[in-house]
Structure 1
Amino acid sequence: MTKKTLISVIIAVYNGAKTLQRCIDSVSNQTFKNKELIIIDGGSTDGTIDILKANNDKIAYWISEPDNGIYNAWNKALEHANGEWIYFLGSDDYLWENKVFEELETYLIKAESESIQLVYGQVARVNENNEICCIDGSSWDHTWNGIMIDGVCTFTHQGMFHHRNLFESYGIFNESFKIVGDYELLIRAFKQGGYALFVNGLIVAGMQTGGITDNCIKLVKETARARQYHQLRVITIPWLISYAWAISYPSLNYVLGSKNTRYLVNFGKLFVTGISHKKNAFLKRKSN
């Protein structure tokens, strides 16, 4: 990777004083030096602004003003991002180890040389006690099949590095979506095919459970709206199962606890989408 290549880290935050410092530290402590941090705050009132001021030397750009949700904040941040690679991190999430960017360097070089616009690793979902509930992230064939065919979110943006050309080619986030704007962007970018580079075995970030995407019913409904918008089949067996899980999630969480519920949900999603992936691969080979 040349010295001119830069990783832009974008964080959207609103009243995130409890976890924001950990998030900022995980970026500033990276051994990889060619990075910049951009933070967009939605007008916090809980002490977040004090944290931003105290870390001013670690932040390339930050602003605090009312916004229209996470994708509005991300779009505002993109206007200030100078990096060839752009990475979005939640304010209650954190980079897993100090060498994450350094370990990704080789893969980003490879991707750029082959005009690949998305590189991703794995994400550890953790509870408030930092216990790992499960690990997200699988091969691109499996991920693409889940997104385009099954209609479920088989990815987590905390593991993904977007080349700036992706936004130049397919546009910024659709702000009409409040939870699945990243999913809708991937449909736009990869609906007709294309390839993303998966770094198997590399945990990029820890994602704390209990964020906005834990509103499961809204998540599933927005996923359906994104698919309908792009004229993809909405009612699939995996999507119906996801809807059933969304309805039962609060009860499961109460009975089993957040760690066991998240593990069960992810196991079920991987199982169902895995069967679908094998079926579609078989049909594709048969047609050839």
Structure 2
Amino acid sequence: MQSGIGPRISVIVAVYNAEKYLEQCISSILSQSYGNFELIIIDGLSKDKSTSIIESYGTKVNYWVSEPDQGIYDAWNKGIAVATGSWFTFVGADDVLYEYAFESYINHILLHQNSHRLDFLSSYIELVTEELAPIRTIGSMWKWQEFKINMTTGHVGCFHARSLFETYGYFDSTYKISGDYELLLRAKENLKADFVPVATVRMRTGGVSASQLKKAIDETYRAKAKNNILPLWKARTLAVVDKVRIKFNI
């Protein structure tokens, strides 16, 4: 495929005090073999050199703003509101895309017999250390029966159609960890999903604190109750059970 021939991609990066890896992230986006994309950066009023790094790229960053926000999903919503693409991808400020990532997705879309109906695409994600040493590779075809139990995709290895947000709304910014899971639960088994069997990104993964894990459990079950996957009483009960299991390594 020639660079830039195909649907436009909106790449949305939420940033907060990300100076350590931000340049590496932006460089991996701007180095894509597929050129029809816009780069949108939403900074949460960073106190480090993040905004200086963003400014250094000039017009290569199509849109950016630095202002207080209510977390990553609020930042993503701001990006969606100004985006012009037909497909959206959300990249972490410390993630590194492979140069063929966008081309792999677009080729898959263009060859798909029902591309006009697709809502969501995922791919393989390589989990790595801070130094980009490999840990393991995750990713599989989205399946409702598995997804309604656990989050089986990582946001950085995914493409979201504009129509997904037009149909089901933006992210719920009251979530701080599991908002991407909650959004996809809204569609239930009606989500039109497919899988790109290629590793598209290296995702740095640090240790998850106990408090973060507990919050993720609470938000995951809240999302299930909100979308009528589980009754509220059962969701709350299972959240307590899961936290007890983690605490005592059961």
TM-score range for the pair, normalised by the shorter chain length = 0.7 to 0.9
Say whether 1:231 aligns with 2:233: no
How many angstroms apart in 1 are the aligned matches of 2:79 and 2:202? 22
What is residue 208 of structure 1 aligned with on the other side? 204
- What's the offset of the Cα at 1:210? 2.2
3-state secondary structure, aligned to 1:79: helix
What is residue 71 of structure 2 aligned with on the other side? 69
Seen in structure 2, the aligned counterparts of structure 1 residues 3 and 199 have a Cα distance that, compared at 3 Å, is closer
What is residue 89 of structure 1 aligned with on the other side? 91
What is residue 102 of structure 1 aligned with on the other side? 103
Seen in structure 2, the aligned counterparts of structure 1 residues 153 and 4 have a Cα distance that, compared at 3 Å, is closer
What is residue 147 of structure 2 aligned with on the other side? 147
- Letter of the 1:225 counterpart: R
8 Å contact kept, 1:12–1:39: yes
How many angstroms apart in 2 are the aligned matches of 1:21 and 1:72? 23
Seen in structure 2, the aligned counterparts of structure 1 residues 153 and 213 have a Cα distance that, compared at 3 Å, is farther
Tell me which of 177, 197, 200 is aligned to 1:179.
Answer: 177
3-state secondary structure, aligned to 1:161: strand
8 Å contact kept, 1:107–1:119: no
How many angstroms apart in 2 are the aligned matches of 1:145 and 1:247? 27
Seen in structure 2, the aligned counterparts of structure 1 residues 203 and 243 have a Cα distance that, compared at 3 Å, is farther
Tell me which of 187, 191, 196 is aligned to 2:193.
Answer: 196
How many angstroms apart in 1 are the aligned matches of 2:33 and 2:207? 28
How many angstroms apart in 1 are the aligned matches of 2:46 and 2:208? 17
More deviation, 154-163/109-118: 109-118
- Letter of the 1:8 counterpart: S
3-state secondary structure, aligned to 2:190: coil
Seen in structure 2, the aligned counterparts of structure 1 residues 109 and 16 have a Cα distance that, compared at 3 Å, is same
**TM-score scaled by structure 2?**
0.88
Say whether 1:117 aligns with 2:113: no
**What number of residue pairs does the alignment pair up?**
242
8 Å contact kept, 1:179–1:219: yes
Q: Which runs of 5+ in 1 are unaligned?
A: 250-288
Q: Which runs of 5+ in 2 are unaligned?
A: none
8 Å contact kept, 2:218–2:239: no
Seen in structure 2, the aligned counterparts of structure 1 residues 128 and 115 have a Cα distance that, compared at 3 Å, is same
